[in-house]
Structure 1
Amino acid sequence: MNSAKKISERLIKKYPNRRLYDTQTSSYITLSDVKQLVLDSEDFTVIDAKTDEDLTRSILLQIILEEESNGTPMFSSSALSQIIRYYGHAMQGMMGSYLEKNIQAFIDIQNKLAESSKGFYEGKPFSPEMWTQFMNVQGPMMQGMMSNYIEQSKTLFIQMQEQMQSQTKNMFGTFPFPGAPSNNDKPKG
């Protein structure tokens, strides 16, 4: 991390009593305050006050847990179960990257919609209320667009998986693994 980023990044210390201390404002803050920093796109790092261990991800996961517990959850139990199944799986790193890219694609679509709609609202950026109004009108179309995108993404993911399997078979097919068919055992046709 370069020193310019460290200087501009807000530092929050978490003490053993589970309290969060914002070094920029010299005051204790709550998880809701940290959530607001995220919503305001402020860069910050949360560290353990004793060990200097980076706790940022842990705090962000806590915020997600609270959000999922209150109101309408973003993830179904099935989706969460599927994510959990990828931990420790050979595809874990690839799945994380896949999810990040899909979230970024969704953000890009949202930004393009907001940019193209600026003229409708006197050049003001979309507020959450404006997004609600927009989605009430455009929701079905957006659902269709996202469904198409997800279907294409799924197809690409399956193709990538098949290609990796094929490459693995070609790479390791010449090695004599017990119980695995060798290239010599291929059906003749």
Structure 2
Amino acid sequence: MATRTKRAGEERLIKKYPNRRLYDTQTSTYVTLVDIKGLVMANEAFKVVDAKTEDDLTRNILMQIILEEEACGSPVFSSQMLSQIIRFYGNSMQGLMGNYLEKTMQSFVDIHGTLSDQSKGVTGGTDAWAQAMNMQNPMMQGLMGNYMEQSKDLFMKMQEQMQSSQSMFKGFPFTPPVPKKEND
């Protein structure tokens, strides 16, 4: 069987079969969750679909990878954080929460990338950066904590301003005009 070549900008297609096996259509081979994690780490675009129904299963597979990663080593998510996330499901703020987490994560990735790029010139490579980050972990946690506190304070101030602006207009009569009655 010849391997299918991927065109530029095209997502790599992974098919999931009823026997739970994952098939990479680009390489014409069966792959594992470890292989898919490798695609994520390589920043390669891919999509996982059900082989029968063509339903998109990408999120489910990514959640499986996160679950496996959380089970071994030191987890990223604390029980408290997971509980808080669960409480947002079905809440009117669910969409806002997802958007907020996505933007916060992107900011974190951007900051990490910038610091990593800057350190390459200073330290000679990412190994030195990783060592420095391990030594400075409490400091970085403090910085991120301060960043999150500032974000929280900004949100609370914005909410207070919105509430005060609503109360500012309470004294104005905003009732619709009553139509005039015609006298015969």
TM-score (norm 1): 0.78
Partner Cα separation in structure 2 for residue 157 and residue 148 of structure 1:
14
Q: Looking at CA atoms only, which structure, 1 or 2, has the larger radius of gyration?
A: 2
Counterpart of 1:150 (choices 148, 151, 155) is 148
4+ residue stretches of structure 1 with deviation over 3 A? Answer: 129-132, 159-172
Over 3 Å counting, the alpha-carbon distance change for 1:167 and 1:36 in structure 2 is: farther
Partner of 2:90: 88
Q: How many residues align?
A: 167
Q: Deviations over 1:49-77 (max 9, x none)?
A: 00111100110011001111111111111
Partner of 2:81: 79
Partner Cα separation in structure 2 for residue 167 and residue 52 of structure 1:
50
1:1-189 to structure 2, matched below 5 A, reads 5=9, 8-122=10-124, 124=125, 126=126, 129-163=127-161
Q: Which amino acid in 1 is paired with 2:33?
A: L
Partner Cα separation in structure 1 for residue 55 and residue 69 of structure 2:
25
| Identical counterparts, % of pairs | 62
Give 3-state SS (helix, strand or coil) of 2:14's partner. Answer: strand
Over 3 Å counting, the alpha-carbon distance change for 1:133 and 1:88 in structure 2 is: same
Structure having the larger proportion of residues in helix: 1
Per-residue deviation at 1:136? 2.2
Contact conserved, 2:15 with 2:24, CA < 8 A, in 1?
A: yes
Over 3 Å counting, the alpha-carbon distance change for 1:44 and 1:169 in structure 2 is: farther
Partner Cα separation in structure 2 for residue 104 and residue 23 of structure 1:
30
Partner of 1:181: none
Partner Cα separation in structure 2 for residue 170 and residue 16 of structure 1:
61
List alignment gaps of at least 5 residues for structure 2: 1-6, 175-184
TM-score (norm 2): 0.80
Over 3 Å counting, the alpha-carbon distance change for 1:48 and 1:120 in structure 2 is: same
List alignment gaps of at least 5 residues for structure 1: 176-189
Over 3 Å counting, the alpha-carbon distance change for 1:58 and 1:26 in structure 2 is: same
Q: Deviations over 1:78-136 (max 9, x none)?
A: 100000000010000111111111111111110111111111344x4x2xx54541212
